[in-house]
Structure 1
Amino acid sequence: MLNTLSSGMKISISRSISTVFEQYMEEIGWDEEKYNLEDFIKQWQVYINEQASWYKNLSDDIKRDPTFHEELAAKINETIQKILTDSPTDEQIKAFDQLQEDYSFSCKMEAKYLLNHLKN
């Protein structure tokens, strides 16, 4: 069912997952011990209901369809897995090297968070 949506809608869904995941992880300071999937999903649901135009464009039939929700859950997992395995950029690594500090980060998004946090 998710595959029947337009490519633009599928991209918007992925972006909304990424956006909210980044916001959520920033809120918990990228502390893996504080991560709670249910809390993330609640935050994502608020986001799609209040800010995501793609969700408003879905028919009520699709929104109620259990298959759609199963595929959406798989898409959420896939998107988060992709984020967590996206290696930090060379630029991010160099920025940490210049700081001459030993920070632990595992993915591009976490490195971005740490660099922004250190700048502020």
Structure 2
Amino acid sequence: MYKELSSGVKISITRSISTSFESYLASIGWDEEKFSMEDFVASWQKYFTENAAWFDKVPQEILIDPQFHEEVAKKMDEVIEKVLNEKPTKKQIESIEKMQQQLGTNYSFDCKAEAAYVEGLLKEKLK
């Protein structure tokens, strides 16, 4: 079912998962102990029903089909894995190290998305 959707809709679904995942993690301060898959899924559902263009393009009979939900859950796992495994850029690392020296902080980050979060925090502290 998922594979039968247009490439634009599939890209939009992927983007909505990625965006809402990063937003959810930012809302919990990237604290692994606060992570709840149920809370993330609820956050993602709220995001796609209110903001995602793809939601209105998928027929209702597909949206309610259990097979579609299984396929989207698999896609969600893939997207989450990709987000968590994408390495920070050299530019991010250098920027964060410079700001941390200025501020005397020691934030850690493991992936590009978390680095973006940390970079944003540090920029706010420097204001």
State the TM-score bracket (shorter-chain normalisation): over 0.9
For residues 71-109 of structure 1, give each alpha carbon's deviation from its aligned partner in whole angstroms, at most 9, with x where no partner exists. 000001110000000000010111122233532101000
Counterpart residue number, 1:26: 26
Moved over 4 A (4+): none
Instruction: Report the equivalent of 1:114.
Output: 118
Q: How much is the aligned-residue C-alpha RMSD, in angstroms?
A: 0.9
Structure 2 counterpart of 1:105: 109
Structure 2: which 5+ residue stretches go unaligned?
Answer: none
Amino-acid identity (%): 51
Aligned residue in 1 for 2:47: 47
Report the equivalent of 1:36: 36
2:58 is paired with a residue of what secondary structure? coil
Q: Quick one: which amino acid aligns to residue 97 of structure 1?
A: E
**Residue matched to 1:77:** 77
Deviation of 1:67 (Å)? 0.7
Residue 16 (1) aligns with residue 16 (2): yes
1:35-78 deviations in whole A, cap 9, x for unaligned? 00000000111111111120111111101111100000000111
Inter-partner Cα distance in structure 1 for 2:119 and 2:47: 25
Q: How many aligned positions are there?
A: 120
Q: 2 CA distance for matches of 1:48 and 1:115?
A: 27
Task: Give me the whole-angstrom Cα distance separating, in 1, the residues matched to 2:23 and 2:38.
Answer: 15
Structure 1: segments with no counterpart, 5+ residues: none
TM-score (norm 1): 0.96
Partners of 1:89 and 1:38 in 2: CA distance: 30
Q: TM-score, normalised by structure 2?
A: 0.91
Secondary structure at the residue paired with 1:70?
helix
